[in-house]
Amino acid sequence: MEILSFQEYTQPQHKEWIVFIHGAGGSSKTFGRQIAAFRSHFNLLLPDLRDHGNSKELTKPEDDEFSFRMVAHDVLTLMREKGIERAHFIGISMGSIVIRIIEDIAPKVVSSVIIGGGVMKLNRRTHLLFKTGVFLSSFIPYHKLYQLVAWILMPYRNHKVARRLFVREAAQIKSEAFKVWLGLLADLKKNLDSYFNKPFKSPMLMIMGSQDFNFLDESIDYWKKFPFTNLDILPKCGHVCNIEQADEFNQRSLNFLLKLSK
């Protein structure tokens, strides 16, 4: 059976797991600044999603159309192979969508959810950005197109490190896979509109940057709709908050998780 490529950090004294889900164009390296902080308290599993990182050669069933549901099943298959029955999930950007689908498919495997730079809903501007990207992908080399999207999502000087990492990781994705993922993102709006009206089933924390102009307002609206969820906003921080303000992200996440684990 094919499984995703992954990094794993375990210690015999730890009983609980965290599964980290990166965003589109990223890889498990997205969480390099989380490993030391979290491995002191939990076992860690960091998969590379299909077509990303070292998970580039997974075959797709002929009768199965590529979808975020397939990506979620990839993660669940890896968890079964590793014998992980239940875990906390931490997702960044589009990884939040994969976690949402995992919770729909197999709610019993999700202990809690932490989302950084979460995509709760696509506003018109962001939806148009992805649609335009699909159109331009026929004319512009995909790595140049991703650089453009990264600049739009993370435009400030303090976003530079996160922007550079995502551009570097995205450059390793095959051209056809990039187009497929871009098309998948552009077609998300209807599904996200539905999810926006449903609360998470598990304890949930959203951590957002105050400069996350494409996704912050929708996260605030979601929190207002379901105020029993938790929302932390990091000042002077962009979309990929676990990289840009790693120490603050780690501390707030660990405070949330360790309270649940008592």
**pLDDT tens-digit profile of 112-158?**
999 999 999 888 888 777 778 777 777 777 677 778 888 888 888 89
103: which residues sit within 8 A by CB, 6+ positions away? 110, 113, 200, 201, 202
Can you give the pLDDT at residue 119?
A: 92
| Residue 102 contacts residue 76 (beta carbons within 8 Å) | yes
Q: What is the pTM of this model?
A: 0.92
Out of 12-16, 53-57, 86-90, 146-150, pick the least confident. 146-150
Residue 76, SS3 per DSSP? helix
257: which residues sit within 8 A by CB, 6+ positions away? 18, 41, 42, 88, 112, 114
Is residue 155 domain-resident? no
Q: Does 229 have pLDDT greater than 80?
A: yes
Residues belonging to the chain? 262
More confident residue, 202 or 59: 202
pLDDT, average across residues 84-105: 95
pLDDT, average across residues 186-195: 77
Is residue 51 domain-resident? yes
For 22-72, what is each residue's pLDDT tens digit? Answer: 988 889 999 999 999 999 999 999 999 998 888 987 777 665 677 888 999
Neighbouring CB atoms inside 10 A of 61's CB total: 8
Q: How far apart are CA 142 and CA 134, in angstroms?
A: 10
Is residue 154 domain-resident? no
Q: Does 189 have pLDDT greater than 90?
A: no
DSSP labels for 187-203?
T-HHHHHHHTTS--SS-
Can you give the pLDDT at residue 246?
A: 97
Q: Which two tokens stand for residue 36?
A: 């030391």
Strand extents, DSSP E, 118-259: 204-209, 230-234
pLDDT, average across residues 172-197: 76
Is residue 178 domain-resident? no
The domain that holds 228 is classified in CATH as 3.40.50.1820
Q: What is the 3-state secondary structure (H, E, C) of 31-78?
A: HCCCHHHHHCCCEEEEECCCCCCCCCCCCCCCCCCCCHHHHHHHHHHH
Is residue 149 domain-resident? no
Q: How far apart are CA 200 and CA 226, in angstroms?
A: 9
Is residue 223 domain-resident? yes
Can you give the pLDDT at residue 167?
A: 79
Q: Does 218 have pLDDT greater than 70?
A: yes
| Residue 114 contacts residue 207 (beta carbons within 8 Å) | yes
Residue with tokens 């077609």: 187
Pick from 1, 128, 123, 126: which is nearest to 61 by CA? 1
Is residue 159 domain-resident? no
Out of 146-150, 171-175, 192-196, pick the least confident. 171-175
Domain count of the fold of the chain? 1
Average pLDDT of the chain, as a whole number: 89
Q: Does 225 have pLDDT greater than 70?
A: yes
Residue 157, SS3 per DSSP? helix
| Residue 186 contacts residue 69 (beta carbons within 8 Å) | no
Dihedral sign (CA 189, 193, 199, 205):
positive
Q: Over pLDDT 70: what percentage of the chain?
A: 96
Is residue 137 domain-resident? no
Give the β-pairing of 110-116 and 204-209.
parallel
**Enclosing domain of residue 243:** 6-123+190-261
